[in-house]
Amino acid sequence: MAEEMEGLEAEQVEFELEPISRSVTLRLRVGLKYETVESEIIEIQEDGKVVLISPMSGSRPRPVRAGSKIQIFQEIVGGKDLETEVTAVEQAFNAEQEQWIVVTEQVGFETEWVVRSREFVRERCNFPVQLAFRDQVEDGPFYDCKTEDLSGSGMRILVELEDRSLFSVGEELAVILDIPDILGDSGEQIVEGHLLPAFPGTIVRRFVLDTRGGAGVQCILGIGFDNWSEEDEDIGDYLLRYVLKLQIRNQALQQD
């Protein structure tokens, strides 16, 4: 795997400097009452501070007092993906971003922080993935699926199963991802794709979409990647950098 990823290490700094820019829902006190507003996380700092786009009223920021509590929500199909509470530190105009921001901090030790770059950065995608039960990875059977989204710590996939009893929450899997190239407007290669060797994951969610009649089922699986071993950590680094670049590319396409 180290040989396959050769040449990607030099890109590490470039990717780490890219903005997060993830849509979230905030619940916070605005004036005399609590309100729910849409926002984005635009930066996750090393000390755990989370930078949000400020709630606005037209072109003016809605006041957010230092010390006030803000709840952050991000949901996916089948369950709540992220829910945490942060404390506002300051509200200011960011000249570089040309927008008002609210800087918040997460409480507790670093191991308790919910919002992290690797876990939080997530982007929609659609490419092939194969799953196998971990103790059957040598000979299969292998199950062909499609990704719905991908992050540095997990993914959501769509799978159609003949046997609805397969793939329960908590089951340990081997994941084989066939990652495509990311291409620019002129077809130039932005990031090289790879057929990644099998790596470990665990089912953390299972959401039935369609029973298909009889015993068959179509469902969404949420798969969390296990802690990366020294042997596999270059896969984890590659996936995080890939998702960041994919996010930037998708945003550019939406703006065209």
pLDDT tens string for the chain (256 positions)? Answer: 444 444 444 333 333 334 455 678 898 876 677 889 888 887 777 787 888 999 998 889 988 989 999 988 876 444 446 678 899 999 999 887 789 999 999 877 766 666 665 555 677 888 899 999 998 988 889 999 999 888 777 888 999 888 778 888 899 999 999 999 888 878 888 888 888 888 999 998 888 876 555 657 788 888 888 777 777 778 888 887 888 788 777 777 766 6
Give the pLDDT confidence score for residue 131 in this predicted structure: 93
Give the pLDDT confidence score for residue 235 in this predicted structure: 85
Peptide linkage before 19 cis (omega within 30 of 0)? no
Domain with 186 in it: 122-255
Phi, psi of 244 (to 5 degrees): -60, -45
Give the pLDDT confidence score for residue 66 in this predicted structure: 92
Give the pLDDT confidence score for residue 18 in this predicted structure: 40
pTM: 0.59
Q: What is the 3-state secondary structure (H, E, C) of 4-54?
A: CCCCCHHHHHHHHCCCCCEEEEEEEEECCEEEEEEEEEEEECCCCCEEEEC
| Rounded-to-integer distance, Cα 99 and Cα 92, Å | 9
Give the pLDDT confidence score for residue 11 in this predicted structure: 39
The pair of structure tokens assigned to 200 is 């470990």
Q: In this structure, are 220 and 106 located in the same domain?
A: no
Q: In this structure, are 110 and 200 located in the same domain?
A: no
Q: Among the three residues 100, 120, 140, which one is the final residue of a domain in this structure?
A: 120
- Of 140, 147, 156, 241, residue with least CA distance to 193: 241
Q: In this structure, are 131 and 236 located in the same domain?
A: yes
In a domain, 16, yes or no: no
Q: In this structure, are 178 and 227 located in the same domain?
A: yes
| Rounded-to-integer distance, Cα 159 and Cα 221, Å | 7
Q: In this structure, are 67 and 165 located in the same domain?
A: no
Count: domains in the chain: 2
Burial of 244 (0-12, 13-18, 19+ CB in 10 A): buried
Q: In this structure, are 134 and 217 located in the same domain?
A: yes
Q: In this structure, are 78 and 129 located in the same domain?
A: no
Is residue 214 a contact partner of residue 175, using CB atoms and an 8 Å limit?
A: no
Task: Report the Cα 38 to chain-centroid distance in Å.
Answer: 18
In a domain, 15, yes or no: no
Q: In this structure, are 26 and 87 located in the same domain?
A: yes
The pair of structure tokens assigned to 122 is 């997530």
The CATH number of whichever domain residue 38 belongs to comes to: 2.30.110.10
Q: In this structure, are 176 and 94 located in the same domain?
A: no
Burial of 225 (0-12, 13-18, 19+ CB in 10 A): buried
